[in-house]
Amino acid sequence: MFEPVLAPVEAPPRTQPVERLGALAEVILCSGFPTQIVILTVMSASGMRLQTAEGQWSPLFVATLSLVDTALVVGLVLVFLRARGERARDVLVGQRPVLREVLVGVTLLPLVFLLALVTLALIITIAPQLHNVARNPMQDLMQNPRDAALFGIVVMIAGGMREEIQRGFILHRFEQYLGGGGVGVVVHSALFGLGHVDQGWDATLTIGTLGAIWGTIYLVRRSIVAPMVSHAGFNLAQLVKFLALQ
């Protein structure tokens, strides 16, 4: 009896250091920090001021910064995906029906609100000193209906849309070159929370936790649609809460 000769199984190609460095550079550029520094510099040089005469944040400055940064980050994501021969729809939207993903995102909203409330309650109970900002600075940006309408657009586009495109792309690169999706969720969620440190350490930890949830949903469903809908809905609810507290 002759035993069949099995073809040797080829090992998957090893990721080269230059590929890791390239992916890391893409992640850093799409993190929002470099782009915002550039935009802040240009806006300040053109005469726009972050603060009003009363010492509060300028609603127009913050909204302009957020929307321009959205355009830059999303543009970079699309350029980097195309440069590696990847389709944005495959990486970000996935193969699931979009309408179904929208419904999943809506369904997740109560769970997201509950998670945020429980996390905040635990922080205040265990470490009340982390509630170090009495009033969220975002509340001072909405002094009239015009500001409220402007920031309704901002939280939908710069929050719900840009941040989930950003998160999906970054987690995709972590899966490919930088240690895996789980590592990406931990790293990006920590930075996502720290990006809101001006709202207090309790808010930082809560928002970082929500970022981990939205990132995990992307990895499980391979689509940013449900996290995007959930994120945008959460932001709009926060906006309504701020208006109610005025």
For 213-241, what is each residue's pLDDT tens digit?
A: 999 999 999 999 999 999 999 998 888 77
What CA–CA distance (Å, rounded) separates 135 from 121? 17
What CA–CA distance (Å, rounded) separates 212 from 186? 7
Looking at the structure of the chain, the number of domains it has is 1
Domain assignment present for residue 1? The answer is no
The 10s digit of each residue's pLDDT in 86-127 is 999 999 999 999 999 999 999 999 999 999 999 999 999 999
Question: Two tokens at 71?
Answer: 């355009």
**Mean pLDDT in residue range 14-34:** 90
Domain assignment present for residue 192? The answer is yes
Banded model confidence at residue 77, pLDDT cuts 50, 70, 90: very high
Most confident of 14-23, 43-52, 205-214: 205-214
Percent of the chain at pLDDT exceeding 90: 62
Domain assignment present for residue 5? The answer is no
Domain assignment present for residue 10? The answer is no
Structure-model confidence comparison of residues 3 and 14, the more confident one: 14
Domain assignment present for residue 65? The answer is yes
Question: Two tokens at 82?
Answer: 């195309």
Residue 82 is predicted with a pLDDT of 96
Give the mean pLDDT of the chain: 88
State the residue range of the domain holding 43: 17-244
Asked if pLDDT for residue 6 goes beyond 60, the answer is no
The 10s digit of each residue's pLDDT in 45-68 is 898 887 777 767 788 888 899 999
Residue 11 is predicted with a pLDDT of 46
Residue 171 is predicted with a pLDDT of 97
Domain assignment present for residue 11? The answer is no
Q: DSSP letters of the chain?
A: -PPPPPPPPPPPPPPPHHHHHHHHHHHHHTTSHHHHHHHHHHHHHTT--SB-TTSSBPHHHHHHHHHHHHHHHHHHHHHHHHHTT--HIIIII-SS-HHHHHHHHHHHHHHHHHHHHHHHHHHHHH-GGG---SS-GGGGG-SSHHHHHHHHHHIIIIIIIHHHHHHHHHHHHHHHHSS-HHHHHHHHHHHHHHTTGGG-HHHHHHHHHHHHHHHHHHHHHS-SHHHHHHHHHHHHHHHHHHHHT-
Domain assignment present for residue 213? The answer is yes
- Max CA separation in the chain (angstroms): 92
Banded model confidence at residue 7, pLDDT cuts 50, 70, 90: very low
Domain assignment present for residue 199? The answer is yes
